[in-house]
Amino acid sequence: MAASDTAAGDTAAAEAAVPAPGADVLGGASLPAVRRRVQWALVVSQILGGLGVSTAVALAAVLAQDIGGSEAVAGLASTSSVIGTALLSLPFAALMARRGRRVGLTSAYAVAAVGGLVVVVAATVRNFPLLLVGMAAFGAGNVAGLQARFAAADLAEPLKRARAISVVVWATTIGAVLGPNIAAPAGSSVAPLGVPRTAGPFLWGTAVFVVAGLLLHLLLRPDPLLTAR
């Protein structure tokens, strides 16, 4: 009897030591907890991303006209940003398919941040072609915003995917509305640095993209796409 009790106790202990299905993938957290963390990380990053994009793009045409010296080229800055978004969407989508959302989204924000710095340099040295290159890279911020919608649906329950996506889209509008309102303070803050006021929002946008990328790098764990697979 004692031997059988000992064997039963060993069996129960062994079963208790076996992790629940998927526990290794989820880092020991429950799936609902991971869903909530992923959604909040995406929501906050989308507010920041929308803020960074809208703050800078609000003055893109003014900056292009100032550097280009003509109203005829004012729209080329925004056009370059749109073209950059289109060209960068495919490689970042392929990157996410291979490495997951976290790597893809943080990389997109990193490229956008570099693009913002290039725009600031172009404005300082008054180089119009360099401005267009920077604006194209800055378009990666839009790529991150668009791809985050898919990330929101990766772990969502089938009947709640539409709501998960809508929450992320709604978060983007918060930043988009706030952005143009802080363009003036952003311009004033860089004046002592010798940077044109119209380039100030791009410097702020760079900082915002860095924060958004770091946030996703730290909190988008486990990766929603890889976990869903």
Rounded Cα–Cα distance for residues 162 and 156 (Å): 9
pLDDT, greater one: 41 or 193: 41
* Neighbouring residues of 183: CB distance < 8 A, sequence distance ≥ 6: 55, 58, 59, 200, 201
| 92 vs 185, residue with greater confidence | 92
Q: Helix crossing, 76-99 with 128-138: angle to 10°? A: 40
For the chain, helix (H) and strand (E) counts, in that order, are: 11, 0
Structure confidence by residue, pLDDT tens digits, 179-223: 888 888 888 888 788 788 888 889 999 999 999 999 999 988 888
Structural domain boundaries in the chain: 30-228
Confidence of residue 26 (pLDDT cuts 50, 70, 90): low
As a whole number of angstroms, the distance between CA 102 and CA 46 comes to 14
pLDDT of residue 195: 82
pTM (2 decimals)? 0.82
List the end-to-end C-alpha distance of the chain, in Å, as a whole number.
47
CATH (one of 1.20.1250.20, 3.10.450.50, 3.40.190.10, 3.80.10.10) for 30-228: 1.20.1250.20
- List the one residue out of 36, 48, 47 whose CA is nearest residue 171: 47
Average per-residue pLDDT in the chain? 84
- Does position 118 have pLDDT exceeding 90, yes or no? yes
Over range 31-53, report the average pLDDT: 88
Rounded CA-CA distance 173/220 in Å is 21
